[in-house]
Structure 1
C-alpha cells in the first residue's frame, strides 16, 4: 500500500470551482488521491476540469458530503489549516514541514485528514474543534493568506517529501499500537455523551458553557485514545449517569 493512500484532503464550502480543480492537480502531482468536498458552491464545471489539467480521476473519485463530521467519520488524526496564528483558545499548531513529518509518522496505520476552509473566512472555531492540531503557513510581510490551492500544494508537497525520506533517529515517531485508534465518528459520539453527562451532574451549565467543551476536545485530541479506551470512558460516563439517577430514586 502507498502510505499516502491513507491521507485525505478535505475542502470545506469552497466557493470558486477553479480552486477545486487546482487543488486536485496539486494532489495528483504529489501522489495523493482522496479528495473530499463539503458543500462546495460549484463543483462540476468547465473551469474545474480545465484547472485540474490531467487530474480528472481525482475529481471523479471525489466524495461530496454535507457536513465536516461526515467527511471525517473514518479518520483517526485530523489537522486543520489555519491562516490565523492567534485564536481565543490556543490550539496545537505546526508548520507545513512539521505537518508532513507528523502525517508520515501516522501513515499507513492511521487514516489522516487535512482540512482546508473557505477562501474568505477559513474554518470556523466550531469546525476546528474536530481537529487535533492546526497547520499554519506563515506569510512574508504579514500578508494574510495563500490561495487555497497553493496551500494544498505546499502541504501535499511536504507530506510527499516526508513519506520518501529515511527515518530520522532524532525523531520520536508515534508508537505503533496493537489496537485501532478511535475514529472521528467514535470521538464525536463520546463528546456528545460527555457533554450530556456533565450537564446531568451539573458540572456544565448549558446556559453558560464558556469554553469547557472546547477545552475537553483539545485535551482528548492530544491523547488520541484507542477505540477500547473510548469504550472504557463511555462505560464510566454511563455508570456516573446511573448512579445519579439512583440517588434521585425515592
Structure 2
C-alpha cells in the first residue's frame, strides 16, 4: 500500500444520527470520489435502506464496509484527533478551524500514525453538547451568511475535498523526502481518545472526591481542564502518570473521610 493510501486509511468520516438514508448514500459517494473509504454511522435513524443504496451511485463498497455503532464515544474511541463539523456556537467553547486548516491538521495526525475522525451531526440539529465535548476542535464551513444552509452530503464533500488536496500534497512530499518515521516505542505513543476520556472521567470524580468545586457547578471547570489537556497532546505514558496521581489523591480523600 502506498503512503498516500495508508494515510487516508487512518481518516474516518463519522455521521451522527443521520435522519435521511439518502444522505448516507450521498456521503458515501462524496468520500469515495475524494479517495476516502472509511464511513462510520452513529445511530442512524433508517439504515440499511434502499434509498442509501440508490444515492451511493457506485460507492456501494463504502456502504458495505460502513460500521454502525450506538454512540459517538464508541465511534472515536481509538482516535487521536476528533474534529466536529458544526455551525458557529457558543454552547461549547472549542477551537474553531476552517476546512483547509482542519484538513491539514487531520492529515498531519494521520501521517504521524494517529487515527482521525471528522464528525458530522444531524441534518436539523447538528451535534449535541455532549458530542461536541468529545471533539478536539470544531470545523466551520464559511458559507454565505445570507443562505448558510448546507446539505449534509455537501458538507462532507467540502471536507473530503480539502482532505484530498492535503493528502495529494503529502504524497508528493513523501516521494521526495522518503518514508516518514512512524511508530516509536509503544510507551511514547499518543494517547487515544478512549484513554483521554478515561482520564477525564477519573479527573471529574477526583475533583468531586476532594470537594474542589465547593458547591459550584463543575461543568465549567471540566470544560477548561479538557481544553487544557487536549491542547497538551498527551502520550499514553503521561496519561498513566496522571491517572496514578489521581488514584493517590482519591485514596487520600477516602482515608480523610474515614477519619472524620
SS at match of 2:218: coil
The answer to whether structure 1 residue 236 and structure 2 residue 245 are counterparts is yes
Query: 1:217 offset after TM fit, Å?
Result: 1.6
Q: Does 1:105 align with 2:108?
A: yes
CA distance in 2, matches of 1:210, 1:187: 17
Deviations 1:129-182 (A, max 9, x none): 001111100111432331010000110110011011155xxxxxxx97732111
CA distance in 2: counterparts of 1:102 and 1:192, whole angstroms: 26
4+ long deviations beyond 6 Å: none
Q: 1:36-75 to 2 correspondence within 5 Å?
A: 36-75=40-79
**Partner of 2:148 in structure 1?**
144
Higher mean C-alpha deviation, range 238-247 or range 106-115: 238-247
> Which range moves more in the overlay, 7-16 or 186-195?
186-195
Aligned to 1:115: 119
Answering whether residue 217 of structure 2 is matched by residue 213 of structure 1, we say no
Gaps of 5+ in 1: 168-174
Question: Residue 205 of structure 2 aligns with which residue?
Answer: 196
Q: Which region of structure 1 is more displaced relative to structure 2, 199-208 or 63-72? A: 199-208
TM-score (norm 1): 0.91
Q: 1:94 aligns with which of 81, 92, 97?
A: 97
Partner of 2:16: 12
For the structure 1 residues 23 and 196, does the alpha-carbon distance in structure 2 shift closer, same or farther, using more than 3 Å as the test? Answer: same
Q: Tell me the secondary structure at the aligned position of residue 93 of structure 1.
A: strand
Say if 1:206 and 1:145 are closer, same or farther in 2 by CA, change over 3 A: farther
Deviation at 1:89, TM superposition (A): 4.3
Cα distance in 1, alignment partners of residues 205 and 183 from structure 2: 30
Contact kept, 8 Å, 1:129 with 1:218, in 2: the verdict is: no
Contact 2:92 2:133 in 1 (8 A): no
Unaligned runs of 5+ in 2: 174-180
RMSD: 1.8
Comparing 192-201 with 219-228, greater Cα deviation is found at 219-228
How many correspondences in the alignment?
242
TM-score by length of 2: 0.88
- Cα gap change, 1:205 to 1:61, in 2 (>3 Å): farther
Distance 1:8 1:206 in 2: 41
Compute the displacement of 1:121 (Å): 0.6
Aligned to 2:255: 246
Provide the C-alpha distance between the structure 2 equivalents of 1:82 and 1:141, rounded to a whole number of angstroms: 14
Deviation at 1:248, TM superposition (A): 3.6
| Structure that is richer in helix per residue | 2
* Cα separation, 2, equivalents of 1:205 and 1:59: 50
Query: In 2, distance between residues paired with 1:177 and 1:201?
Result: 38
